[in-house]
């Protein structure tokens, strides 16, 4: 089995790290700046979420698709990108349904399955409440930057 990854970064942290106007930028940016593939991971799904959000931000903060794509490439180069196989996705949906959770929270469940896959020691997110709802067994590892 691989050594555990020290840090897992949620989409919310990577979005804040990419937006200097975001009040959460500084602590998020520090985490991204320290990231290496040996110590830090994110979910494969996160790459598409980051692109989607950055290229559609409201209020004039939207970035050009080409620039959003470059940011995603930089993020992917700085950390281990964790993907689930089809059986793992099915297990996430099955468990989310068993818990009675509906809607977009399944995407948090996907990321938390990625956390388990690399046995991350710390999970940084700006969505602590939702993450803890989906994964109460990981609650002590879930923190804000």
The domain total for the chain is: 1
2 within some domain: no
1 within some domain: no
Q: What is the reported pTM?
A: 0.91
User: Of 47, 52, 50, 46, which Cα lies nearest the Cα of 111?
Assistant: 46
> One digit per residue, pLDDT tens: the chain, 145 residues?
467 889 999 999 999 998 888 899 999 999 999 999 999 999 999 999 999 988 886 555 667 888 889 999 999 999 999 999 999 999 999 999 999 999 999 999 999 999 999 999 999 999 999 999 999 999 999 999 9
Q: What is the CATH number of the domain that holds 109?
A: 3.40.50.1010
Question: By three-state DSSP, how is residue 59 classified?
Answer: coil
Which residue range forms the structural domain that includes residue 48?
7-143
88 within some domain: yes
68 within some domain: yes
């Amino acid at each position: 089995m691989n050594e555990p990854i020290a840090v897992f970064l949620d989409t919310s942290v990577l979005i804040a790290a990419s937006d200097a106007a975001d009040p959460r930028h500084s602590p998020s940016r520090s985490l991204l700046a320290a990231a290496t593939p040996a110590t830090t991971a994110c979910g494969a799904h996160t790459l598409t979420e980051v692109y989607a959000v950055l290229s559609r931000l409201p209020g004039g903060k939207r970035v050009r698709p080409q620039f959003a794509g470059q940011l995603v490439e930089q993020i992917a180069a700085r950390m281990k990108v964790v993907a689930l196989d089809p059986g793992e996705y099915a297990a996430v949906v099955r468990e989310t349904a068993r818990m009675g959770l509906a809607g977009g929270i399944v995407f948090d469940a996907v990321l938390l399955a990625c956390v388990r896959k690399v046995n991350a020691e710390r999970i940084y997110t700006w969505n602590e409440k939702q993450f803890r709802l989906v994964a109460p067994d990981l609650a002590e590892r879930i923190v804000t930057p």
